[in-house]
Amino acid sequence: MQQSIPESLKISPFMAAFVVVSMQIGIGVLGFQRIISKDAGYDAWMSVIGAGLAVHIIVWMMYKICEGVDGDVMAANIFVFGKTIGNSINTLFIIYFTMTCLTLLSGLIEVIRTWMFLSMHPIFFASVYLLLGIYIVNGGFRTVVGISLFGIVVPAYLLFSFLAPIRYGDFTNLLPIFDHTPVQMLKGAYNMTLTYLGYGVLLFIYPFIKKPKESKKWVHIGLTATMIFYTLLAVITFAYFPISLLQKSIWATLEMWKIVKLPFIERFEYLGLANWALIILPNVAISLWVASRVAKRVYHISQRKAVLFIAAVVLICVLMLDSRERINIFHDLQAKAGFILAFIYTPFLYILLLIKKKVNAK
Protein backbone atom coordinates (compact mmCIF):
# COMPACT_ATOMS: atom_id res chain seq x y z
CA MET A 1 0.00 0.00 0.00
CA GLN A 2 3.01 2.28 -0.55
CA GLN A 3 2.03 5.70 -1.85
CA SER A 4 4.06 6.98 -4.77
CA ILE A 5 5.39 10.22 -3.35
CA PRO A 6 8.29 11.61 -5.42
CA GLU A 7 11.55 11.78 -3.52
CA SER A 8 11.82 15.48 -4.33
CA LEU A 9 8.67 16.19 -2.30
CA LYS A 10 9.85 14.40 0.83
CA ILE A 11 11.46 15.98 3.88
CA SER A 12 14.38 14.93 6.05
CA PRO A 13 13.49 12.83 9.13
CA PHE A 14 14.41 15.54 11.65
CA MET A 15 12.15 18.09 9.90
CA ALA A 16 9.10 16.05 10.90
CA ALA A 17 9.71 17.21 14.48
CA PHE A 18 9.29 20.86 13.44
CA VAL A 19 5.93 20.12 11.82
CA VAL A 20 4.62 18.39 14.95
CA VAL A 21 6.02 20.96 17.40
CA SER A 22 4.72 23.82 15.26
CA MET A 23 1.19 22.42 15.48
CA GLN A 24 1.46 21.94 19.25
CA ILE A 25 2.50 25.52 19.99
CA GLY A 26 -0.52 27.54 18.99
CA ILE A 27 -3.01 29.96 20.44
CA GLY A 28 -3.40 27.79 23.56
CA VAL A 29 0.01 28.89 24.88
CA LEU A 30 -1.42 32.31 25.66
CA GLY A 31 -3.95 31.04 28.19
CA PHE A 32 -3.71 27.31 28.98
CA GLN A 33 -2.60 27.99 32.59
CA ARG A 34 -6.05 29.09 33.75
CA ILE A 35 -7.74 26.07 32.19
CA ILE A 36 -5.46 23.39 33.65
CA SER A 37 -5.50 24.98 37.13
CA LYS A 38 -9.29 24.96 37.44
CA ASP A 39 -9.28 21.41 38.83
CA ALA A 40 -5.67 20.65 39.73
CA GLY A 41 -4.70 24.05 41.15
CA TYR A 42 -0.94 24.63 41.37
CA ASP A 43 -0.37 20.88 41.11
CA ALA A 44 -1.35 21.23 37.46
CA TRP A 45 2.32 21.34 36.41
CA MET A 46 2.39 17.60 37.12
CA SER A 47 -0.70 17.20 34.96
CA VAL A 48 1.25 18.85 32.14
CA ILE A 49 3.96 16.20 32.45
CA GLY A 50 1.43 13.36 32.68
CA ALA A 51 -0.41 14.54 29.57
CA GLY A 52 2.90 14.91 27.74
CA LEU A 53 3.86 11.31 28.51
CA ALA A 54 0.45 10.14 27.27
CA VAL A 55 1.09 11.96 23.98
CA HIS A 56 4.28 9.92 23.49
CA ILE A 57 2.22 6.71 23.69
CA ILE A 58 -0.34 7.97 21.17
CA VAL A 59 2.40 9.03 18.74
CA TRP A 60 3.96 5.56 19.08
CA MET A 61 0.59 4.10 18.02
CA MET A 62 0.40 6.53 15.10
CA TYR A 63 3.74 5.32 13.81
CA LYS A 64 2.61 1.70 14.15
CA ILE A 65 -0.57 2.46 12.16
CA CYS A 66 1.36 4.11 9.33
CA GLU A 67 4.00 1.38 9.30
CA GLY A 68 1.30 -1.29 9.23
CA VAL A 69 -0.10 -0.04 5.91
CA ASP A 70 3.10 1.60 4.64
CA GLY A 71 1.15 4.80 4.16
CA ASP A 72 -0.98 7.36 5.97
CA VAL A 73 -4.15 7.10 8.06
CA MET A 74 -6.34 7.38 4.96
CA ALA A 75 -4.82 4.18 3.61
CA ALA A 76 -5.25 2.57 7.03
CA ASN A 77 -8.96 3.46 7.14
CA ILE A 78 -9.54 1.95 3.70
CA PHE A 79 -7.55 -1.16 4.61
CA VAL A 80 -9.50 -1.74 7.83
CA PHE A 81 -13.02 -0.59 6.92
CA GLY A 82 -13.13 -0.86 3.14
CA LYS A 83 -13.27 1.88 0.55
CA THR A 84 -16.79 3.20 1.22
CA ILE A 85 -16.67 3.39 5.02
CA GLY A 86 -12.99 4.29 4.98
CA ASN A 87 -13.50 7.30 2.72
CA SER A 88 -16.48 8.36 4.82
CA ILE A 89 -14.22 8.45 7.87
CA ASN A 90 -11.55 10.25 5.87
CA THR A 91 -14.11 12.93 5.00
CA LEU A 92 -14.40 13.67 8.72
CA PHE A 93 -10.72 14.61 8.69
CA ILE A 94 -11.49 17.34 6.16
CA ILE A 95 -14.07 18.75 8.56
CA TYR A 96 -11.78 18.40 11.58
CA PHE A 97 -8.79 20.20 10.04
CA THR A 98 -11.07 22.88 8.63
CA MET A 99 -12.31 23.36 12.20
CA THR A 100 -8.71 23.47 13.41
CA CYS A 101 -7.86 26.21 10.92
CA LEU A 102 -10.96 28.15 11.99
CA THR A 103 -10.12 27.72 15.69
CA LEU A 104 -6.60 29.05 15.22
CA LEU A 105 -7.64 32.01 13.10
CA SER A 106 -10.64 33.02 15.21
CA GLY A 107 -8.57 32.75 18.40
CA LEU A 108 -5.80 34.92 16.97
CA ILE A 109 -8.28 37.54 15.74
CA GLU A 110 -9.98 37.63 19.13
CA VAL A 111 -6.69 38.28 20.94
CA ILE A 112 -5.59 40.96 18.48
CA ARG A 113 -8.95 42.75 18.67
CA THR A 114 -8.93 42.60 22.47
CA TRP A 115 -5.34 43.76 23.05
CA MET A 116 -4.41 45.89 20.04
CA PHE A 117 -7.02 46.91 17.46
CA LEU A 118 -10.47 47.08 19.02
CA SER A 119 -12.20 48.31 15.87
CA MET A 120 -10.53 45.88 13.43
CA HIS A 121 -13.03 44.00 11.30
CA PRO A 122 -12.27 40.25 11.22
CA ILE A 123 -12.83 39.90 7.47
CA PHE A 124 -9.81 42.04 6.53
CA PHE A 125 -7.29 40.26 8.74
CA ALA A 126 -8.76 36.81 8.00
CA SER A 127 -8.72 37.42 4.23
CA VAL A 128 -5.06 38.47 4.16
CA TYR A 129 -4.04 35.66 6.51
CA LEU A 130 -5.88 32.98 4.51
CA LEU A 131 -4.46 34.28 1.22
CA LEU A 132 -1.00 33.90 2.71
CA GLY A 133 -1.90 30.38 3.87
CA ILE A 134 -3.17 29.48 0.38
CA TYR A 135 0.05 30.82 -1.16
CA ILE A 136 2.13 28.66 1.17
CA VAL A 137 0.08 25.52 0.49
CA ASN A 138 0.27 26.04 -3.28
CA GLY A 139 4.05 26.14 -2.90
CA GLY A 140 3.99 22.48 -1.95
CA PHE A 141 4.54 20.46 1.21
CA ARG A 142 8.22 21.37 1.52
CA THR A 143 7.23 25.05 1.57
CA VAL A 144 4.75 24.32 4.37
CA VAL A 145 7.48 22.58 6.35
CA GLY A 146 9.89 25.46 5.73
CA ILE A 147 7.38 27.92 7.16
CA SER A 148 6.98 25.62 10.18
CA LEU A 149 10.73 25.82 10.81
CA PHE A 150 10.65 29.58 10.28
CA GLY A 151 7.73 29.98 12.70
CA ILE A 152 9.63 28.20 15.48
CA VAL A 153 13.19 29.49 15.06
CA VAL A 154 12.53 33.20 14.42
CA PRO A 155 10.27 33.90 17.46
CA ALA A 156 12.42 31.70 19.75
CA TYR A 157 13.86 34.81 21.42
CA LEU A 158 10.49 35.22 23.18
CA LEU A 159 11.61 32.49 25.58
CA PHE A 160 13.91 35.04 27.25
CA SER A 161 10.91 37.26 27.99
CA PHE A 162 9.75 34.77 30.60
CA LEU A 163 12.79 35.56 32.73
CA ALA A 164 11.10 38.80 33.85
CA PRO A 165 8.18 37.14 35.71
CA ILE A 166 10.67 34.89 37.54
CA ARG A 167 12.03 37.96 39.36
CA TYR A 168 8.61 38.68 40.85
CA GLY A 169 7.48 35.09 41.30
CA ASP A 170 6.92 33.29 44.58
CA PHE A 171 7.71 29.65 43.97
CA THR A 172 6.40 28.67 47.40
CA ASN A 173 2.99 28.98 45.73
CA LEU A 174 3.59 25.49 44.37
CA LEU A 175 3.84 24.03 47.87
CA PRO A 176 2.64 21.70 49.16
CA ILE A 177 2.76 19.39 46.16
CA PHE A 178 0.27 16.52 45.77
CA ASP A 179 -2.32 18.74 47.41
CA HIS A 180 -5.05 17.52 45.04
CA THR A 181 -6.76 14.19 44.47
CA PRO A 182 -5.81 11.88 41.56
CA VAL A 183 -9.16 12.64 39.94
CA GLN A 184 -8.41 16.38 39.98
CA MET A 185 -4.97 15.72 38.55
CA LEU A 186 -6.49 13.62 35.76
CA LYS A 187 -8.94 16.42 34.95
CA GLY A 188 -6.00 18.79 34.71
CA ALA A 189 -4.18 16.33 32.43
CA TYR A 190 -7.29 16.04 30.24
CA ASN A 191 -7.47 19.81 29.86
CA MET A 192 -3.76 19.86 29.02
CA THR A 193 -4.13 17.20 26.30
CA LEU A 194 -6.40 19.67 24.50
CA THR A 195 -3.52 22.17 24.43
CA TYR A 196 -1.08 19.51 23.19
CA LEU A 197 -3.31 18.66 20.20
CA GLY A 198 -1.74 19.00 16.76
CA TYR A 199 0.56 15.99 16.63
CA GLY A 200 -2.18 14.15 14.70
CA VAL A 201 -0.74 15.64 11.50
CA LEU A 202 1.86 12.88 11.74
CA LEU A 203 -0.79 10.47 10.44
CA PHE A 204 -0.94 12.47 7.19
CA ILE A 205 2.67 13.54 6.61
CA TYR A 206 4.17 10.08 7.19
CA PRO A 207 4.48 9.21 3.45
CA PHE A 208 6.29 12.52 2.88
CA ILE A 209 9.14 11.68 5.29
CA LYS A 210 12.38 10.20 3.97
CA LYS A 211 13.21 7.09 5.97
CA PRO A 212 10.23 7.64 8.30
CA LYS A 213 11.51 5.17 10.90
CA GLU A 214 14.47 7.46 11.48
CA SER A 215 12.09 10.33 12.22
CA LYS A 216 10.74 8.62 15.35
CA LYS A 217 13.50 9.82 17.64
CA TRP A 218 13.28 13.37 16.31
CA VAL A 219 9.51 13.55 16.76
CA HIS A 220 9.75 12.21 20.31
CA ILE A 221 12.54 14.70 21.05
CA GLY A 222 10.26 17.45 19.74
CA LEU A 223 7.38 16.22 21.90
CA THR A 224 9.68 16.19 24.94
CA ALA A 225 10.83 19.74 24.20
CA THR A 226 7.21 20.87 23.96
CA MET A 227 6.39 19.17 27.27
CA ILE A 228 9.35 20.86 28.99
CA PHE A 229 8.33 24.24 27.55
CA TYR A 230 4.73 23.95 28.75
CA THR A 231 5.82 22.65 32.16
CA LEU A 232 8.28 25.50 32.75
CA LEU A 233 5.77 28.08 31.54
CA ALA A 234 3.13 26.64 33.89
CA VAL A 235 5.54 26.74 36.85
CA ILE A 236 6.54 30.36 36.12
CA THR A 237 2.89 31.35 35.77
CA PHE A 238 1.88 29.65 39.03
CA ALA A 239 4.73 31.41 40.84
CA TYR A 240 3.72 34.78 39.41
CA PHE A 241 -0.07 34.67 39.83
CA PRO A 242 -2.13 34.13 42.98
CA ILE A 243 -4.66 31.39 42.22
CA SER A 244 -7.61 33.78 42.53
CA LEU A 245 -6.10 36.19 39.99
CA LEU A 246 -5.04 33.39 37.65
CA GLN A 247 -8.65 32.20 37.37
CA LYS A 248 -9.60 35.67 36.11
CA SER A 249 -6.75 35.91 33.58
CA ILE A 250 -7.93 34.63 30.21
CA TRP A 251 -4.51 35.17 28.61
CA ALA A 252 -2.02 34.71 31.45
CA THR A 253 1.01 34.68 29.15
CA LEU A 254 0.11 38.10 27.77
CA GLU A 255 -0.44 39.38 31.30
CA MET A 256 3.13 38.38 32.19
CA TRP A 257 4.50 40.09 29.08
CA LYS A 258 3.04 43.38 30.34
CA ILE A 259 5.82 43.71 32.93
CA VAL A 260 8.60 43.34 30.35
CA LYS A 261 10.14 46.78 29.69
CA LEU A 262 12.70 47.51 27.00
CA PRO A 263 14.34 50.84 26.08
CA PHE A 264 12.93 50.75 22.55
CA ILE A 265 9.42 49.39 23.24
CA GLU A 266 6.97 50.21 26.01
CA ARG A 267 4.31 47.55 25.40
CA PHE A 268 6.20 44.28 24.94
CA GLU A 269 2.95 42.31 24.64
CA TYR A 270 2.38 44.06 21.30
CA LEU A 271 5.67 42.64 20.06
CA GLY A 272 4.72 39.24 21.47
CA LEU A 273 1.38 39.28 19.66
CA ALA A 274 3.02 40.32 16.39
CA ASN A 275 5.35 37.35 16.69
CA TRP A 276 2.48 35.08 17.64
CA ALA A 277 0.81 35.91 14.34
CA LEU A 278 3.95 34.43 12.75
CA ILE A 279 3.78 31.36 15.01
CA ILE A 280 0.14 30.70 14.11
CA LEU A 281 0.78 31.00 10.35
CA PRO A 282 2.39 27.52 9.99
CA ASN A 283 -0.52 26.02 11.96
CA VAL A 284 -3.04 27.54 9.57
CA ALA A 285 -0.99 26.48 6.53
CA ILE A 286 -0.58 22.89 7.79
CA SER A 287 -4.31 22.63 8.57
CA LEU A 288 -5.21 23.89 5.10
CA TRP A 289 -2.69 21.50 3.52
CA VAL A 290 -3.99 18.43 5.38
CA ALA A 291 -7.67 19.24 4.71
CA SER A 292 -7.04 19.88 1.00
CA ARG A 293 -4.76 16.83 0.75
CA VAL A 294 -7.50 14.58 2.15
CA ALA A 295 -10.06 16.16 -0.22
CA LYS A 296 -7.74 15.46 -3.14
CA ARG A 297 -7.31 11.81 -2.14
CA VAL A 298 -10.97 11.12 -1.32
CA TYR A 299 -12.79 13.13 -3.99
CA HIS A 300 -10.05 13.24 -6.67
CA ILE A 301 -10.11 17.00 -7.09
CA SER A 302 -7.24 19.41 -7.53
CA GLN A 303 -5.60 20.38 -4.24
CA ARG A 304 -5.44 23.99 -5.40
CA LYS A 305 -9.22 24.07 -5.87
CA ALA A 306 -9.79 22.25 -2.58
CA VAL A 307 -7.68 24.70 -0.57
CA LEU A 308 -9.55 27.65 -2.09
CA PHE A 309 -12.92 26.15 -1.14
CA ILE A 310 -11.78 25.28 2.41
CA ALA A 311 -10.33 28.76 2.92
CA ALA A 312 -13.62 30.30 1.74
CA VAL A 313 -15.54 28.18 4.25
CA VAL A 314 -13.18 29.27 7.03
CA LEU A 315 -13.57 32.93 6.06
CA ILE A 316 -17.36 32.71 6.17
CA CYS A 317 -17.31 30.94 9.52
CA VAL A 318 -14.92 33.55 11.00
CA LEU A 319 -17.63 36.15 10.46
CA MET A 320 -20.14 33.96 12.30
CA LEU A 321 -17.92 33.67 15.39
CA ASP A 322 -18.56 37.26 16.41
CA SER A 323 -18.79 36.91 20.20
CA ARG A 324 -16.74 35.48 23.06
CA GLU A 325 -19.49 32.96 23.86
CA ARG A 326 -19.64 31.57 20.31
CA ILE A 327 -15.86 31.36 20.10
CA ASN A 328 -15.69 29.48 23.42
CA ILE A 329 -18.38 27.02 22.36
CA PHE A 330 -16.68 26.34 19.03
CA HIS A 331 -13.21 26.00 20.56
CA ASP A 332 -14.54 23.51 23.13
CA LEU A 333 -16.20 21.50 20.35
CA GLN A 334 -13.00 21.39 18.30
CA ALA A 335 -10.93 20.41 21.35
CA LYS A 336 -13.25 17.51 22.18
CA ALA A 337 -13.14 16.35 18.56
CA GLY A 338 -9.35 16.43 18.71
CA PHE A 339 -9.32 14.46 21.94
CA ILE A 340 -11.56 11.79 20.40
CA LEU A 341 -9.31 11.58 17.33
CA ALA A 342 -6.13 11.25 19.37
CA PHE A 343 -7.05 9.25 22.47
CA ILE A 344 -10.03 7.19 21.32
CA TYR A 345 -9.92 6.74 17.57
CA THR A 346 -6.14 6.23 17.26
CA PRO A 347 -5.98 3.29 19.76
CA PHE A 348 -9.20 1.89 18.26
CA LEU A 349 -7.77 1.97 14.72
CA TYR A 350 -4.47 0.51 15.93
CA ILE A 351 -6.22 -2.48 17.55
CA LEU A 352 -8.44 -3.07 14.50
CA LEU A 353 -5.39 -2.91 12.23
CA LEU A 354 -3.62 -5.58 14.29
CA ILE A 355 -6.72 -7.82 14.16
CA LYS A 356 -7.16 -7.32 10.40
CA LYS A 357 -3.54 -8.17 9.65
CA LYS A 358 -3.71 -11.32 11.80
CA VAL A 359 -6.92 -12.43 10.08
CA ASN A 360 -5.38 -11.84 6.66
CA ALA A 361 -2.27 -13.75 7.67
CA LYS A 362 -4.37 -16.78 8.64
Domain count, the chain: 1
Determine, yes or no, domain membership for 361: no
> Is the pLDDT confidence value at 180 over 60?
yes
270: pLDDT strictly greater than 70: yes
360, part of any domain: no
Q: What's the mean pLDDT in 163-167?
A: 89
**Mean predicted lDDT score pLDDT of the chain:** 91
State the helix-helix crossing angle for 324-339 and 83-115, rounded to 10 degrees.
Answer: 140
Is 1 part of any domain? no
Kindly tell me if the per-residue pLDDT of 120 is higher than 90.
no
Q: Name the residue among 180, 141, 172 with its Cα closest to residue 292.
A: 141
Q: At what angle do helices 303-320 and 122-138 cross, to 10 degrees?
A: 160
- Residues 31, 241: contact at Cβ < 8 Å? no
Average pLDDT over residues 55-71: 94
pLDDT digits over 273-317, tens only? 888 889 999 999 999 999 999 999 999 999 999 999 999 999 999
In a domain, 289, yes or no: yes
Alpha helices, DSSP H, located in the chain: 15-24, 32-40, 44-69, 73-81, 83-115, 122-138, 141-153, 163-167, 182-196, 202-205, 215-240, 243-246, 252-257, 268-299, 303-320, 324-339, 346-361
CA gap 30, 145 in Å, rounded: 23
User: What's the pLDDT at 324?
Assistant: 81
Whether pLDDT at 128 is above 60: yes
pLDDT digits (tens, 9 = 90+) for 8-59: 889 999 999 999 999 999 888 988 999 999 999 999 999 999 999 999 999 9
Q: Which residues contact 6 (CB under 8 A, 6 or more apart)?
A: none
Q: Is 101 exposed, middle or buried (0-12, 13-18, 19+ CB in 10 A)?
A: buried
In contact, 222 and 40? CB cutoff 8 Å = no
Whether residue 362 is contained in a domain is answered as no
CATH number at residue 317: 1.20.1740.10
pLDDT attached to residue 143: 94
Is pLDDT of 362 > 80? no
Domain span at residue 92 reads: 7-353
User: Is 170 domain-assigned?
Assistant: yes
Residue 358 lies in a domain: no
Q: Is the pLDDT of residue 133 over 90?
A: yes
Whether pLDDT at 136 is above 80: yes
DSSP secondary structure code for residue 345 in this structure: I
359 part of a folded domain = no
